[in-house]
Amino acid sequence: MTGARAVTCPSCGGSIEIRAAGYTVTLGCRYCGSLLDVANEDVRLITAYRRAAKNFAIAPGARGTLFDVEWEVIGALRRRSGSAIWQEFLLFNPYSGYRWLVASDGEWQFGTMLLDRPEDDGLAVSWRGRSFALEDDAEIETTTVIGEFYWRTARGDKVQGATFANGREQLSRETTADEVTWTQLIPITAEWVSEAFKVEQRHMPRPPRPDLTEGFRKAPGMAEDDLGKMFLVALASLGLILMAQVFLSGPRVCSDGRATIEVGAATSTHRIGTLEVRRPWQLVTIAVDSDSFTNRWVDLDYSLVNRRTQQSIDAYGIVEYYTGTDSDGPWSEGEHHAETLIARVPRGTYDVFVDAGSHGWPTDPPPGSIDPANPWGPGETVALWFRSCTGGFSWGMFWLMAALLFSVPGLILWWRHRD
Amino acid sequence: MQSLNCPSCGAALPVRDPGLPYSTCAYCQTLVRREAGKLESVGTVAALPADVSPIQIGTTIAREGMAATVVGRVRWGWSDGSWNEWFLRAADGRQLWLGEAMGMYMLTSEYSAVLEIPAIQNFAEGNPMARDCTVKAAGKWLTASDIKEAGCLGSEGDLPFPTLPGRTMTNVDFRNAAGDALSVQRDADGTTAWLGVWTDLAGLKPGNLRQIEGWTMPRALA
pLDDT in tens, chain A (419 residues): 455 688 999 989 999 989 998 899 999 998 998 999 988 878 889 888 888 777 899 998 999 999 989 999 999 999 999 888 999 999 999 999 999 999 988 889 999 999 888 887 778 899 988 999 998 899 999 999 999 999 888 888 999 999 999 999 999 999 887 778 899 999 999 999 999 999 988 888 876 555 444 444 455 445 556 777 888 888 999 999 888 888 777 778 888 999 988 888 888 889 999 998 888 888 888 999 998 888 888 999 999 999 988 888 888 888 888 888 888 888 888 889 998 888 888 889 999 999 998 888 777 777 666 666 666 666 788 899 999 988 777 788 889 989 998 888 888 888 877 75
Partner-chain contact B77 A39, CB within 8 Å:
yes
Q: Could you tell me if A58 and A200 are in contact, meaning their C-beta atoms sit under 8 angstroms apart?
A: yes
Query: What three-state secondary structure class fits B120?
Result: helix
pLDDT band for B111, please (50, 70, 90 cuts).
very high
Residues of A in contact with B51 (CB under 8 A): 5, 21-23
Topology of the domain covering A254-392? Jelly Rolls (2.60.120)
Task: Give me the residue from A95, A117, A179 closest to B177, CB to CB.
Answer: A117
**Cβ(A169)–Cβ(A179) below 8 Å:** no
CB contact under 8 A, B82 and A22: yes
Is the model's pLDDT at B208 over the cut of 80?
Answer: yes
B215 and A93 within 8 Å at the Cβ level: the answer is yes
- The answer to whether the CB atoms of A3 and B217 lie below 8 A apart is no
The CA-atom distances, in angstroms, between A213 and each of A137, A237, A336, A354 are 19, 27, 49, 56
| The predicted structure's pLDDT at residue A369 | 61
Q: What is the distance between the terminal CA atoms of chain B, rounded to a whole angstrom?
A: 24
Q: Are A115 and B80 in contact (CB < 8 Å)?
A: no
Contact B49 A113 (CB under 8 A): no
Taking CA–CA distances from B153, the nearest residue in chain A reads A40
CB contact under 8 A, A3 and B77: no
Q: Which of A315, A374, A369, A360 is nearest to A339 (CA)?
A: A315
CA proximity to A149, closest of A311, A19, A310, A274: A19
Q: Tell me how far the alpha carbon of residue A147 is from its chain's centroid.
A: 37
Q: Please report the pLDDT score of residue A100 as a whole number.
A: 96
Query: Which domains occur in chain B, in start order?
Result: 2-44 (2.20.28), 60-204 (no CATH)
Q: Is B211 helix (H, G, I), strand (E, B) or coil?
A: coil
Range list for CATH 2.60.120 in chain A: 254-392
Q: Give contacts of B215 with chain A, Cβ < 8 Å.
A: 3, 70, 93-95
Strands A337-360 and A107-113 turn out to be unpaired
* Partner-chain contact A22 B51, CB within 8 Å: yes
Contact A96 B177 (CB under 8 A): no
Contact A3 B81 (CB under 8 A): no
**How far, in Å, CA of B144 to CA of B182, rounded?**
9
Q: What is the tens place of the pLDDT at every residue in A111-156?
A: 999 988 888 777 889 998 899 999 889 999 999 999 999 988 888 8
Sequence-distant (6+) residues with CB within 8 A of B165 are B45, B46, B151, B152
Segment holding A415, helix H or strand E: helix A395-417
Give the residue from A163, A149, A166, A145 showing the smallest Cα distance to A84.
A163
Pick the closest to residue B183 from B127, B122, B135 (CA basis).
Answer: B135
Instruction: Round to whole Å and give the CA distance between A392 and A246.
Output: 8
Residue A48's Cβ-count burial label (10 Å; 0-12, 13-18, 19+) is middle
For testing contact with chain B, the best of A65, A69, A115 (most B CBs within 10 A) = A115
Residue A41 distance to chain B (closest CA, Å): 7
What pLDDT, on a 0 to 100 scale, did the predictor assign at position A213? Answer: 47
Among candidates A25, A97, A117 on the partner chain, residue whose Cβ is nearest the Cβ of B80: A25
- pLDDT value of position B138: 92
Measured between alpha carbons, how far is A409 from A416 in angstroms, rounded to an integer? Answer: 11
**What angle separates helix A211-218 from helix A395-417, to the nearest 10 degrees?**
120
pTM: 0.66
Chain B positions touching A113 (Cβ under 8 A) are: 102, 104
In chain B, residues with a C-beta closer than 8 Å to the C-beta of A20 are 52
Distance CA A371, CA A169 (A): 90
**pLDDT tens sequence across B59-97:** 999 998 899 999 999 999 988 888 999 999 999 999 999
Question: Are the CB atoms for A52 and A146 separated by under 8 Å?
Answer: yes
* Contact state of B218 with A115 under an 8 Å Cβ cutoff: no
B203 vs A278, higher pLDDT = B203
pLDDT at position A373, please? 61
Taking CA–CA distances from B147, the nearest residue in chain A reads A178
Numbered residues of chain A with Cβ closer than 8 Å to any chain B Cβ? 1-5, 19-23, 25, 39-41, 68-70, 92-98, 113, 115-119, 150-152, 179
Alpha helices in B97-170 (DSSP H): 118-124
The per-residue DSSP string of A144-200 comes to EEEEEESS---TT-EEEEEEEEETTEEEEEEE-SS-EEEEEEEEE-HHHHHHHS---
- Residue B84: list chain A partners with CB under 8 A: 22
Nearest to A70 among B52, B53, B216 (CB): B216
Contact: A116, B179; criterion CB under 8 Å? yes
Q: Exposed, middle or buried: residue A21 (CB in 10 Å: 0-12, 13-18, 19+)?
A: buried
N- to C-terminal Cα distance for chain A? Answer: 59
Residue B102 has pLDDT above 50, yes or no: yes
* Per-residue b or e along A192-219, where b marks 16 or more CB atoms closer than 10 Å to that residue's CB: ebeebbebeeeebbeeeeeeebeeebee
Test B214 with A2 for CB contact under 8 angstroms. yes
Q: Report the distance separating Cα A151 and Cα A172, nearest Å.
A: 18
Rounded Cα distance between A301 and A310, Å, is 17
Complex ipTM, two decimals?
0.91
Q: How far is B76 from chain A (nearest CA, A)?
A: 11
Minimum-distance CB partner of A39 among B82, B84, B178: B82
The whole-number pLDDT of residue A215 equals 47
Kind of pairing, strands A63-66 and A44-47? unpaired
Closest to A3 (Cβ–Cβ): which among B177, B201, B214? B214
Q: What pLDDT does residue B218 have?
A: 84
Which of B140, B215, B217 to probe by mutation at the A interface, max A CB count within 10 Å? B215
Cα A126 from Cα A403, distance rounded (Å): 52
Of the partner residues A4, A22, A96, the one whose CB lies closest to the CB of residue B49: A22
Q: Compute how many other C-beta atoms are within 10 angstroms of the C-beta atom of residue A174.
A: 15
Beta bridge partners of A47: A35
